[in-house]
Amino acid sequence: MEEPIVAEVACQREVPFHERRWVVVCAMLFAALFLGFPLLWRSRAFSTLEKIFWTIVVSLETVVVFWAFWRIMQWCYERLQNSLPL
């Protein structure tokens, strides 16, 4: 009776940490931005359509992050330029 249960447990393999869906998505959204694309496209956890979707989402997020960084640096430069006598 126990043999099918043991066989079923033996067939389940542990998914590598870097191939878990939530790990890949969190890595791209919160840490790596566009540098996470190789991780996404090598992952077997996503279908091709999902990979295209996440590529577009992360690309847009990357553009927004870089734009925000540029605007903050411009603001800082203007504040420093006005406060320092030259």
Average pLDDT, integer, range 11-32: 84
Over residues 41-61, the mean pLDDT reads 94
Tell me the two tokens of residue 75. 């603001």
Number of continuous H segments (helices) and E segments (strands) in the chain: 4, 0
pLDDT at 86: 65
Rounded percentage of the chain residues whose pLDDT exceeds 70: 85
- The Cα 10–Cα 26 span in angstroms is 30
At residue 50 the predicted structure's pLDDT band, cuts being 50, 70 and 90, is very high
Rg from Cα positions in the chain: 22
| Mean pLDDT, the chain, whole residue set | 86
**How much is the average pLDDT of 24-47?**
90
Top pLDDT among 9 and 63 is at: 63
Query: Is the CB of residue 25 less than 8 Å from the CB of residue 54?
Result: yes
Q: Is the dihedral of CA 23, 24, 29, 33 positive or negative?
A: positive
**Could you report the per-residue pLDDT of 5-15, keeping only the tens digit for each?**
555 555 567 88
